[in-house]
Amino acid sequence: MILLSHYDTIIFAFAEYTKKSFFCAMALHKQTAPDLSEYKQEYFVKGISLDNVIFGFHEEQFKVLLLQCRNKKNWMLPGGHVLYEENVDDAAKRILQDRTGLKNVYLQQFWLFGDTERSSPKVVHAAMKALQLDGANSDWMKERFVSVGYYALVEFAKVNPNPDALSLSCEWHDLLQLPPLIFDHRAIVEKALEQLRYHLLYQPVGYNLLPKQFTLRQLQSIYELILNKKLDRPNFNRKMLSLGILIKKEKLFSGSAHKAPYLYSFHKKNYFKFLSQGFSDWF
């Protein structure tokens, strides 16, 4: 694991955890319900699960990567359990790469979800039914779990969505139009966004969501979506350009040269230096 400067940003080189993952192997046979008698509780740390909220940005929309449950009605966050021989952070990385195919990703642990209601019989039964596991040998999965929440910031175009053994598909969804989610996954998404809104002031959020070259409009859209408010464009552009954190590139061709916006990239050294001061008085 490599830490970026003094930020709590995790940039990792992935280890061979996927070879040990039962769900990863079962993904090849996801047409039939997995035999959970082979997926034994003693392989994992008891009572702990992980949920990854994977954020992306595409066509002026904030996206969340979700898995479709077997009943085709409900969806869920990419998640899983911690193997005894792996660290919690490493388990989150393993799950993240399984679902996205990416190895170097901004990953942030943001909350622990431990309300008793999330493991109530009613909630668990509904989730097992959505996953079509209500008749399977899955009693240990019905016990109480606390879940460690992580959020990841990924470049949308680089993600190769891949479902796990308990899901039918893995797809992006508009953050503002989420489908029905199992367990407390909607609350987890909301808490992740809340924490991301706070981290936006001093973490390299735009750096991880945007492609290498981008427009000022795209950068402003990210801030507006996370902060949930409109920002004055001329004022935003003026402030950003005055910081010395952007490098101007060539114009983006749009068929009309006088309207073509300029492309920019981050001046990495200046950007991270400015983040140490934070954007707290800017928005």
pLDDT at 139: 78
Strands 10-11 and 2-3: antiparallel
Same domain for 187 and 223, yes or no, is no
Q: 246: which strand partners?
A: 266
Domain that holds residue 248: 212-275
What is the sign of the dihedral through the CA atoms of 100, 103, 108 and 109? positive
Q: Which residue, 40, 112, 115, is CA-closest to 83?
A: 40
What is the sign of the dihedral through the CA atoms of 98, 104, 105 and 109? positive
Tens-digit pLDDT profile for residues 209-241 = 999 999 999 999 999 999 999 999 999 999 999
pLDDT at 30: 43
CATH for 264? 1.10.10.10
Same domain for 75 and 191, yes or no, is yes
Same domain for 98 and 176, yes or no, is yes
- Enumerate the H helices of 111-211 as residue ranges: 121-130, 185-199, 205-209
Same domain for 49 and 15, yes or no, is yes
The yes-or-no verdict on residue 138 having pLDDT over 80 is: no
Tens-digit pLDDT profile for residues 58-110 = 999 999 999 999 999 999 999 999 998 899 999 999 999 999 999 889 999 99
Write the CA distances from 78 to 43, 63, 233, integer angstroms: 19, 14, 35
pTM score, two decimals?
A: 0.84
Classify residue 187: in a domain, yes or no. Answer: yes
What is the sign of the dihedral through the CA atoms of 184, 189, 190 and 195? positive
- What is the band of 29 on the pLDDT scale with cuts at 50, 70, 90? very low
**What's the rounded Cα separation, in Å, for the pair 71 and 79?**
18
Classify residue 283: in a domain, yes or no. Answer: no
Determine the straight-line distance between the first and last CA of the chain, rounded to whole angstroms.
32
* Domain end residue (candidates: 167, 199, 231): 199
HSE-CB for 253 with a 13 A CA cutoff: 1
Rg of the chain on CA atoms, in Å: 20
The yes-or-no verdict on residue 46 having pLDDT over 70 is: yes
Classify residue 138: in a domain, yes or no. Answer: yes
Write the CA distances from 49 to 65, 149, 222, 233, 242, integer angstroms: 18, 9, 30, 42, 44
Average pLDDT of the residues of the chain: 83
**Number of domains making up the chain:** 2
Same domain for 82 and 169, yes or no, is yes
Write the CA distances from 15 to 7, 26, 53, 103, 154, integer angstroms: 23, 19, 21, 9, 19
**What's the rounded Cα separation, in Å, for the pair 198 and 216?**
21
**What's the rounded Cα separation, in Å, for the pair 187 and 175?**
13
pLDDT at 250: 73
* Domain end residue (candidates: 199, 223, 246): 199
Same domain for 163 and 25, yes or no, is yes
Can you spell out the DSSP letters for 198-248? Answer: HHTTTS-HHHHHS-SSB-HHHHHHHHHHHHTS---HHHHHHHHHHTT-EEE
Share above pLDDT 70 across residues of the chain, in percent, rounded to a whole number: 78
* Domain end residue (candidates: 165, 199, 233): 199
**What's the rounded Cα separation, in Å, for the pair 257 and 43?**
60
Contact call for residues 134 and 126 (beta carbons, < 8 A)? no
